[in-house]
Amino acid sequence: MMKNAPVALIMGSQSDYPSMEVCVKTLKSFGVDVDVRVMSAHRTPDDAADFAKNALTNGTKVIIAAAGKAAHLPGVLAAFTILPVIGVPMKSSFMDGLDSLLSIAQMPPGIPVATVGVGAGDNAALLAIQILALSDADLAKKLHQHKADMAENVRKSSAALVASIQD
């Protein structure tokens, strides 16, 4: 039975998890619960369809779907739900994952999948958090702090670089 975590991370294979661990870590660092499942659009199509059909009722707010090669999983999930679906193309042995990227991004009109870069599980997590933050002031505050921290890190690294060149 599904928990009612606001984010569901669905992967096409267990082999995708090493690339997607950063996604789980990023969500947890913001205090966002995530349900993690392996389901395949090709190998377990009924499970994928059942999950997507019931996700809204089960309390899921955003679905992150990672898949590689002919990466139909995000699009198939999106076909069965009105929830936002964020697709993460997995790096494959063919053109470093261009096949996965195009399979996820090139959806037909009417069924959008918000596609992040190849292997970009961290950005998928942040985009999911941004969606949740529209109705969660605490998460919005954390996102503002996250941006401020990033800017400060860039300024510090710039200052360190300039100092090392001048030495």
Positions touching ligand RP5 (CB under 6 A) are 12-13, 15-16, 40, 67-69, 90
For ligand RP5, give the closer residue by CB, 12 or 87: 12
Cβ–Cβ under 8 Å, residues 9 and 20: yes
For ligand RP5, give the closer residue by CB, 40 or 81: 40
Minimum distance of ligand RP5 from residue 89's CB (angstroms): 9
Minimum distance of ligand RP5 from residue 16's CB (angstroms): 5
Minimum distance of ligand RP5 from residue 64's CB (angstroms): 13
**Of 109, 45, 119, which is closest to residue 77 (Cα–Cα)?**
45
Minimum distance of ligand RP5 from residue 92's CB (angstroms): 7
For ligand RP5, give the closer residue by CB, 6 or 12: 12
Give CA–CA dist 83/96, Å, rounded.
Answer: 29
Q: Phi and psi for 37 in degrees, rounded to 5?
A: -140, 150
Residue the block writes with tokens 């992040």: 116
Q: Where do the DSSP E strands lie in 32-113? A: 34-38, 62-67, 85-89
Residue the block writes with tokens 């001048």: 166
